[in-house]
């Protein structure tokens, strides 16, 4: 079965000590994340992902003047403000040829991805990469035909990894031609904001049909 690799938010503000919203377990997971990126590039498999991309006054931030679309006020510290050092992906997770897709509804987004691009990253302001309206379009265009195995890794387990895995299951379910596809989370290449939140997210993903495997097993398979 062909694979598609999904890199979730491996950015400095989440994954580097001193980052604005640092996930304590992230450094231990980054070696496995880098191996998965390397494997995707070496095999020529599609590598897609997400990056948190905020303006300086994003509604997620503590003290923001506006709430989210459903009245949310999570009160996070400012993080992943586009253009800042914290917004950048870790170099170990970034191949040589990549592009970013902004949160702008673009029916031609897939056609705008350069032919020799090794990775495509969807900017987003909320947890799911599918919050970017172009994500499904580009995935439709870049995923090999027929059933595929999605390999998901990154941060944070209890927020954006969970949202990506469940969103991929929904994407599969909406496409009869993708019957037989599966979603696998690399459990040594993820990290949670809190241990209880991470365990709850893993339980929810397992119950939904997501498989959990170590990176060694994924790459050996």
Instruction: Write the DSSP assignment of 57-112 as a string of letters.
Output: T-TTBTT-SS--TTS----BPS--BTTSGGGSBPGGG--SSEEEE-SS--TTHHHH
Are 171 and 205 in contact by the 8 Å Cβ rule? The answer is: no
Q: What is the CATH number of the domain that holds 120?
A: 3.40.50.850
Q: Is residue 30 part of a domain?
A: yes
Q: Which of 53-67, 132-146, 184-198 shows the lowest per-residue confidence on average (mean pLDDT)?
A: 53-67
Q: Tell me the C-alpha distance between 52 and 83, whole Å.
A: 12
Single pTM value for the model: 0.95
Model pLDDT for residues 114-172, shown as the tens digit of each residue: 989 999 999 999 899 999 999 999 999 999 999 999 999 999 999 999 999 999 999 99
Looking at the structure of the chain, the number of domains it has is: 1
Q: Is residue 81 part of a domain?
A: no
Q: Whole domain around residue 100: which residue ranges?
A: 2-52+88-220
């Amino acid at each position: 079965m062909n694979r598609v690799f999904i890199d979730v938010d491996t950015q400095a503000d989440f994954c580097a000590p001193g980052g604005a919203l640092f996930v304590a377990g992230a450094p231990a997971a980054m070696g496995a994340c880098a191996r998965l990126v390397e494997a995707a590039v070496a095999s020529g498999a599609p590598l897609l992902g997400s990056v948190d991309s905020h303006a300086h006054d994003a509604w997620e931030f503590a003290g923001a003047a506006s709430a989210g679309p459903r009245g949310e006020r999570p009160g996070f510290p400012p993080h992943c403000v586009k253009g800042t050092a914290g917004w950048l992906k870790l170099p170990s997770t970034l191949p040589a040829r990549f592009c970013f897709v902004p949160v702008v509804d673009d029916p031609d987004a897939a056609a705008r991805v350069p032919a020799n691009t090794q990775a495509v990253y969807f900017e987003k302001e909320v947890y799911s990469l599918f919050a970017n309206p172009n994500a499904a379009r580009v995935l439709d265009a870049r995923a090999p035909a027929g059933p595929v195995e999605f390999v998901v890794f990154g941060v944070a387990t209890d927020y954006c990894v969970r949202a990506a895995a469940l969103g991929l299951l929904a994407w599969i379910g909406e496409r009869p031609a993708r019957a037989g596809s599966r979603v696998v989370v690399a459990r040594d290449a993820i990290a949670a904001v809190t241990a209880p939140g991470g365990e709850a997210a893993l339980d929810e993903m397992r119950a939904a049909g997501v498989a959990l495997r170590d990176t060694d097993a994924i790459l050996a398979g």
